[in-house]
Structure 1
């Protein structure tokens, strides 16, 4: 069947995402609502189960179209890059401030923020204030730690001053 559809990897690698936010009453708890049951798909001899989340083009899609997994993945990428930045920007034998800033903004930030324009798009007031605020706060913390590592400033330095210092590093004045 994979050859007929020009899919050389075959249906054994297919993923099924049945997206719905619909909830039904629980069987033995009438006041509780649970997500409705999902069913798989049968293609020939292959049974494809409905997954809770799938990864498509490095974007995590959830069954209920919530972006919790994508936000967690963005934070994990940011933490991983923060470790790399910390090792590369050592004061004794690391990369200088200007090139390190260019490296951070050229590779780390785009990888960390890939597809967050979809994730952090406020659809209504409730979404903007609850979930996006937590993710944005954690991303700000990662940005601050990276600025501290790049500039070599003290941890008690205010964030506004760090931002100004990193802007000045762009023009190689530090």
Structure 2
């Protein structure tokens, strides 16, 4: 042993290294041909996992090991991790049932907040590692993989969330303002891909993400990074228009309010749509006005919130959505 190594650190920090704390995991899907008795046909079986002997102590090979909160199995199918995620979701549903009692229970709004803030992150922890490959197989040709069962089980747990509003399972998402489980998973994977590509050069994973971006043509043994970089890379096509092309919409901006009022009075269109975004008294909002034959038919407005959390640019996007509605 090297002087001043881990044993010295363990003595100074009142910690002890023991072989009983170690675990051995063989990550391999290699299969070998095994002969059978009574002249039966040989079968392909998984390669034998040998034990590890260190200083007279024998450590047996484990079927699965939990590392940084994620279960790794010897075949890297993540079945144990999927079962653990389903168990966490079932535990959350039981707790919500206890909290959502009619007499002495918590308000349904807070149950929804607890579901989004605690249950979903706890259930889908590390989804970019263990659920990315399942998601890839669901979108690919191998639709008979056991990973589909995991996603379906997670989706059924969401139906148990009807305790939040006491509504039917078919209209749960609309009433509780929740996304379907498939979109929840897709949103988490997209966030993970965005975080990966925005890492600085000093981050340890920067080189791995860059290699995954450069070598997206890998067909076999794709890692979760390969899938994330390939599935969530947006390709923006070129705008191919002729040199004499002109936009069909005329954009005009009045310099004063009187000039804008004059333009409105001179407008001859049968249907006119006006939208405005503003910041008044520290509050950000947007409003839309629909006129038909110079008669106001519909008015719609939304107040986003204070200027500390929202800006006028966000209000412009909301105004366009209101105009489309």
User: Counterparts of 2:91 and 2:158 in 1: how far apart (Å)?
Assistant: 12
Shift of 1:105: 1.0
2:143 matches 1:132: no
Say whether the 8 Å CA contact 1:70–1:119 is kept in structure 2.
yes
Name the structure 2 match of 1:18: 26
User: Counterparts of 1:48 and 1:130 in 2: how far apart (Å)?
Assistant: 32
Gap change, CA 1:38 and 1:158, over 3 Å in 2: closer
User: Counterparts of 2:86 and 2:98 in 1: how far apart (Å)?
Assistant: 19
Say whether the 8 Å CA contact 1:26–1:33 is kept in structure 2.
yes
Let me know the Cα RMSD of the aligned residues.
2.2
Name the structure 1 match of 2:85: 74
Gap change, CA 1:52 and 1:4, over 3 Å in 2: farther
Name the structure 1 match of 2:71: 60
Shift of 1:118: 2.0
2:157 matches 1:142: yes
TM value normalised by structure 2: 0.46
User: Counterparts of 2:105 and 2:119 in 1: how far apart (Å)?
Assistant: 17
Name the structure 1 match of 2:175: 165
User: Counterparts of 1:152 and 1:65 in 2: how far apart (Å)?
Assistant: 39
Name the structure 1 match of 2:165: 151
TM value normalised by structure 1: 0.83
Give CA deviations for 1:103-137 in whole Å, capped at 9, x if unaligned. Answer: 11111111111122322213442455533322111
User: Counterparts of 1:102 and 1:119 in 2: how far apart (Å)?
Assistant: 26
Q: Which runs of 5+ in 2 are unaligned?
A: 179-325
Shift of 1:17: 0.5
Of Structure 1 and Structure 2, which has the larger fraction of its residues in strand? 2
Shift of 1:27: 2.3
Gap change, CA 1:127 and 1:112, over 3 Å in 2: farther
Paired residues in the alignment total: 163
Q: Which runs of 5+ in 1 are unaligned?
A: 169-174
Gap change, CA 1:5 and 1:53, over 3 Å in 2: farther
